[in-house]
Amino acid sequence: MQVADKKVVYIHYTLKNQEGAVLDSSSQKTPLAYIHGLGNIIPGLEKALAGKSEGDKLNVSIEPKDAYGERNETLLQTVPRDAFQDVEELEEGMQFQAQTPNGPQLITVAEIETDQVLVDANHPLAGETLDFDVEVVDVRNATEEELEHGHAHGAGGHQHA
């Protein structure tokens, strides 16, 4: 079966940055399961996987615009140190979930000064060209429930309690 819209696709992947450092991998885990065509993975990788079949392997380089976007400097903001008063030891690189008018937003502490903290709401991989080594492990039809929920269920997918 080929990778196409409304198919559950199971992949093993290794993600590297342009310097060749491994950022993430599923090689020692359950394959990642996603529903193709629903935007469950970055657009560039989804496009590269279209039409592939079980057993296919590919190496693909994804530009920022087709991954997590370009860095947006307007997403850097200085906030009072008091905003982190419940955090015992605040360190650069720490990540928090902030509530925004558009819903939850992941922010990263970029810089700490005595009374101010610079936070960054860009995705940690924004602005990065990403290199993927991918193997298509399996492809199957999505169930009606999976399509209704917008994600794959079971091993490698979403687990409902």
| Domains assigned to the chain | 7-68+126-149 (3.10.50.40), 73-120 (2.40.10.330)
Neighbours of 128 (CB within 10 A): 20
pLDDT at residue 102, rounded to an integer:
80
pLDDT at 159: 60
Q: 5 near 130, Cβ under 8 Å?
A: no
Q: What percent of the chain has pLDDT over 70?
A: 96
160 pLDDT band, cuts 50/70/90, is: low
Dist. CA 110–CA 120, nearest whole Å: 6
Tens of pLDDT, residue by residue over 40-60, are: 999 999 999 999 999 999 999
